[in-house]
Structure 1
């Protein structure tokens, strides 16, 4: 079973974002949410990712531009489910 098929389901049965503790398992173009202390800071598409998963650049949703995030800052990343069109 691959990582993308292990999407958590909410109590309503709809897919919800999957927590990704090891950022090196993310891929460019993954759609993610960045959380801090249980609050969503921002969301968007990964633009660049350090090979060791220590740093990622995010092209933020809603035209907010790019932002840099460091794993060492204790942020949590959640991969958003891929739309099944």
Structure 2
């Protein structure tokens, strides 16, 4: 579980590489997570907080950005077989 925390986390590309495999990316609501939500998520052993950088992104833009980076680092974009077969 990658958790986009506006209050800080590991650099997104480094964290994706360190914890590759099946993924879920959690993007918060506009205005961010409240303290109780953030603490609950951070208490999960499978949660890895990430940062999407210094820019303030809307929720839908943050989701697209995070998924794009994940696909570039760990997903299909890195495969060299262009035949469509895996």
Name the TM-score, length of structure 2 as normaliser.
0.28
**Greater strand share, structure number:** 1
Could you say which structure has the larger radius of gyration?
A: 2
Name the TM-score, length of structure 1 as normaliser.
0.28
**Greater helix share, structure number:** 2
